Amino acid sequence: MGAWDIVKIVMQIFGGMGTFLIGMKMLSDNMTRLAHGKLQRMLNRTAKSRFAGVGIGTAMTILGQSSAFTTVMVVGLVNAGIMTLFQATAVIMGANIGTTLNAWVIALAGSDITALFLALAAAGVFITMFSKSERMKSLGNVIAAFGLIFVGLKFMSSALTFERGSDAFNAVSGILSSIQNPALLLLLGIAITALVQSSTAVNAIIITMASLGMVIGGGGNAPLYIIIGSNIGTCVTALISSLGASQNAKRAAVIHFLFNFFGAIIFMIVLVCWTGFADTVLAGMVPSDITLFGKQGLGPTLQIATFHTLFNVINTLLFLPFIKGFVWLADHIVRDKKKEPAGPDTVIFAPLDERLMRSPSVALGFLYQQTGKMFSYAMDTLDVSFGGFLRKDENVAETVADKNRELAEANRLAVSYLVKISTASLVTEDESTVSTLHYVLNDIMRIGELADNVTKYTHHYVSDALVFSDEFLEMIRDMYEKIKKLYVLSLATFLYRDKESLADVDALEDEIDRARRACVDRHIKRLNEGKCQPQNSGVFINLVGNLERAADHITYIAHSIE
């Protein structure tokens, strides 16, 4: 075999791997689009039990077609304070199970079913080209992505397809069999996976070699050591992703590593001590001469897929009862540098985590919840301002100004995040939500501005020595109590998208309008009777008018769900 022949083989292998990875990325992106809303709903159920977490992690990985996709998402959710470490650990364990499906698909790619997938890929391209529905285009892209995956596998397979006994076959086999030390094979699996950031790609290479009858590391358990290493190597993506994140996010990435690391130690000990594991256990479960879809000799490839599944399922069953232990260990490995906030409710807006952008639907769901938090913060600002008016306390003006500055910064971050989400390929429902949130954020800012207006009326109240009757003060208190009830109802309506509550929102908003008119009518009557100072009018009418406008914006937020 000449030098140029070796170069061509290497180029073809890398070309096939590149095509394979592009197919996987395309499949992941479009599967998450088709799963619109499902990922967010699944994540909301992680608190139920550790078993639910494992199931959700498995489902998320199948939908996202990558355990790295799920673990990086989990790091982002922990960093944002949406998910606890306990919940994250269960989801991470499930992600490792979910990724085993890919190995089975790759193993079956060696059968005659490949031709079917290539035909489907062509159909997928036509669906994408001629369909007007975004959902159908995503479906077409999924089908086309499967075609790219199998084209990539075929490229890698054909690059290593030599006639048995030929000089080329013997040369490649000699290189593959030269590394026989289990520790070196394990490190090889870690290094390659860390480099390409895909354990699926490494599994594809090993399965392709096995399908061609090439002996790796002297045979026996040798390929299994590389598979174990690939499970550790895939943790690198999450570890890198956690850099610069919160301590809890780093702990989530460490837990992912610890799960695979401890599992690798257990399996390495078993395989080193039981040198005939592959030839007895795996061969007993999947005979080497098994025939599927018209293809003979699929045993070696299916045995590797079987081992990959056993590794992750057995580790999950072993470690699931010890989730609290993993959390405790991660807490001691990644120690707090300083005391962190008690939780997400202690800040106006949780960090906008770029990791969540791996699934625009989940990112949008996160932003939706954070917008609800901003709504609450704006209402709290109005509470402070109105309370200051009743107490004739001008000092609240500084507090309100500070809160509005924080609200403005949160709004800037939210709008920036919305723009980033808008650049992603979104389904129609998500596009509508993006547009809605722009309007809601504007309404929230208006509430803050109205709170600032109230502080100015407080200043006039004090500096001009105005006097308001107890009757007037009682009327605006009653009006504001209705506004607070409207806020509680509107917030719940917005967060839970409860359209049935909109009628109650409108009824309460009508009450507030009538209360404002009653206040103004009563004020005019008192003026005519000479019971009220004319200089009070500007503050009085503007105050109740601003409170009514705040109620209008609160109502708009509730109606944004329509």
Average pLDDT, the chain: 79
The domains of the chain, with CATH numbers, are 3-333 (no CATH), 354-559 (1.20.58.220)
Position 344 scores a pLDDT of: 39
Give yes or no for residue 454 having a pLDDT over 70: yes
Per the CB < 8 A criterion, the answer to whether 17 and 152 are in contact is: yes
CB contact set of 267 (below 8 Å; sequence gap of 6+) = 224, 228, 311
Give the pLDDT of residue 349. Answer: 61
Residue 343 has pLDDT above 50, yes or no: no
The residue assigned the tokens 């070696």 is: 300
CA angle 367, 71, 332 (to 5 degrees): 105
In angstroms, the CA 560 to CA 501 distance is 13
| In contact, 237 and 71? CB cutoff 8 Å | yes
Per-position DSSP letters for 220-272, written without gaps between them: TTHHHHHHHHHHHHTHHHHHHHTTTS-HHHHHHHHHHHHHHHHHHHHHHHHHH
Question: Which residues share a beta bridge with 295?
Answer: 292
Most confident of 65-79, 153-167, 369-383: 369-383
The pLDDT assigned to 171 comes to 59
pLDDT band at 48 (very low <50, low <70, confident <90, very high): low
Check pLDDT > 60 for residue 149: yes
Q: Is the pLDDT of residue 307 over 80?
A: yes
At 510, the pLDDT band (50, 70, 90 cuts) reads: very high
pTM, full prediction = 0.63
Pick the more confident residue, 157 or 152.
Answer: 152
pLDDT of residue 548 exceeding 90:
yes
Q: Are 551 and 510 a contacting pair, CB within 8 Å?
A: no
Identify the top-confidence range among 31-45, 216-230, 368-382. Answer: 368-382
pLDDT of the residue at 477: 92
Q: List, for residues 326-342, the tens digit of each pLDDT value.
A: 989 988 898 876 554 44
Mean pLDDT over 544-552 rounds to 94
* Average pLDDT for 132-142: 75
Asked if residue 180 has pLDDT above 80, the reply is no
User: 272-289 pLDDT, tens per residue?
Assistant: 999 888 888 888 888 776
For residue 137, the model assigns a pLDDT of 78
The predicted structure's pLDDT at residue 245: 66
